[in-house]
Amino acid sequence: MNRRVLLIEDEPNIIEAISFILSRDGWTVHTHSDGETALDRVRAGTPDLVILDVMLPGRSGFDILRDLREGDDTRALPVLMLTARGQTKDRELAERLGATRFMTKPFSNSDVLHTVREMVGP
Q: Is the pLDDT of residue 122 over 70?
A: no
Note the pLDDT of residue 121.
Answer: 79
Look up the pTM and report it. 0.95
Q: Is the pLDDT of residue 15 over 70?
A: yes
Q: Is the pLDDT of residue 80 over 60?
A: yes
Note the pLDDT of residue 20.
Answer: 97
- CATH code for the part of the protein at 4-117: 3.40.50.2300
Note the pLDDT of residue 23.
Answer: 97
For 80-88, the CB contacts below 8 A with 24+ separation are 80/49, 80/50, 80/51, 80/52, 80/115, 80/116, 80/119, 81/52, 81/53, 81/54, 82/9, 82/14, 82/51, 82/52, 82/53, 82/54, 82/107, 83/53, 83/54, 83/55, 84/54, 84/55, 85/54
Average of pLDDT values for 8-23? 96
- Domain boundaries along the sequence of the chain: 4-117
Note the pLDDT of residue 1.
Answer: 55
Q: Is the pLDDT of residue 5 over 80?
A: yes
Task: Report the percent of the chain where pLDDT is more than 70.
Answer: 98
